[in-house]
Structures are given as structure tokens and as C-alpha cells.
Amino acid sequence: MSMPIRNDKQDQLIAELGALWQNQKDQLLIPKTIQALDAHYGLGGKMAKEAEVEDIIKQMFGRLANSYPILTDVQNKKILDIACGSNTSKLPTSFFLGSLFGGRSVGINRGYTALFEPWFCRILFELGAMPVGVDFGDLEQEVFIHHRVDLGKPGALDFLPDRSFDGIQDSRLFGSPEFTAQFHNQADRLKVAQEIRRQEQRLLKIDGIIIHSDAIQLVN
């Protein structure tokens, strides 16, 4: 059984996230979503064990706020999360935390980490969007639509139809332990980033939104 978030901690997180939107209807979605993440995925216990999980939640909501000034606009939107994270990612060294959090390092070998769980797709699902997650790790128990994909292979996303997504993000691939272990060379990582950028341009609807893209930043 997961350890619940203490009321004061939960209230603090909800208050911070709620401040990102001015609309009262939007603000009411925040406690509902956080409580659902706790009930379904043990968010409170994972935050207590790894404080950086809270940073991830704030980061994902922050990206939504930058892309959707009205949060309810995400409802019924089909949103692709490339390298969405999984339930099998491990954190072998503190280096990867440094790449995610601007040099901040835990400095211990913890093995499995909740940092790379598919939090963005889970958040979107609870908000009423239609998330689609792609990742090479285990997503079998997740309720959102997901596909197991090796993003290191050219054309790995060719099975998805053109102009089929209202929003797209990629943000977990280039800092993930599995990817950095597979692609040591920066030139090889750049090739993958170029391929993902190509796919994002193909898959996004004309009026769609790039919520966040590490691939575009790397290519640029």
C-alpha cells in the first residue's frame, strides 16, 4: 500500500500548481488530478522516497501551462509523448539526475527510479486528454494508449499517421539511462534528434502545439 501524501505537502503542491491557471474551473482540476495520481500510482510515497519526483510533476504541469493557458482545453486533445518513460527505467549513477536537474546530483546508486515513470501521460489522462505514449520500456499496466518503440531506429514512428496529433512532446529520451548507454557518441544522438524532429513535424496537426521538444533544441 502506498504512503499517502501528508495533507500539508499535498496542499502545498496543489496550491503551487493551481497558481499556474487563473480560471476557477481549471484550478478545480488540479486537486482532482493529484489525488488520482496518488490513488492510482502511489505519488505520495514516491515523492517521499525521491524528492525529485515532485520536481517532475511541477515540470510537466508547467509545460502544460505554457502551452494551454486554459487547462480544460487539453480535454479530448490527442497528445503524443515521445519517450514517455516506463515502469522499468533504472538510475545507475547520479550523472543522469545532473542532466535532468541542471547539475543537481543525488550521488548514490539507487537502481530503479520513479523519475522515469510516464507521469506526463498519466497527468493528461486524468485531465481528460487522449495521451499516446511511446517508449521501449514496460507500459503494459498503463491505462493510456501506448506503443513499445525503439526510438534509436530510423522510421520507428512511421506507423503513426500524418497530422494526427494536437500536441507533441519529447523530453525524457536524451537524459534516460538506457539511451545514453546505447548512444555514447554525440553525433549518433544528434542523428536520433534529427529523426525525432522530422517525425514531430510530420505528426503534428497544422494548428497543433509542440509542448516541449529536446530534439528540436539539440538540432538547433
- The third-level CATH classification (topology) of the domain covering 70-219 is Rossmann fold (3.40.50)
Pairing of strands 165-170, 130-135: unpaired
CA dist., res. 107 & res. 182, Å (int): 22
CA dist., res. 137 & res. 135, Å (int): 6
Place of cell 496537426: 205
For the whole model, what pTM was predicted? 0.88
pLDDT tens-digit profile, the chain (220 residues) = 444 555 678 889 999 999 999 999 999 999 999 999 999 999 999 999 888 899 999 999 999 999 999 999 999 999 999 999 998 876 644 433 433 334 444 444 456 788 889 999 999 999 999 999 999 989 999 999 999 999 999 999 999 999 999 999 998 888 776 777 788 788 888 999 999 999 999 999 999 999 999 999 888 8
Backbone φ, ψ for residue 34 (5° rounding): -65, -40
Instruction: Mark out the alpha helices in 50-115 (DSSP H runs).
Output: 52-67, 95-100
CA dist., res. 142 & res. 115, Å (int): 16
Residue 136 contacts residue 116 (beta carbons within 8 Å):
no
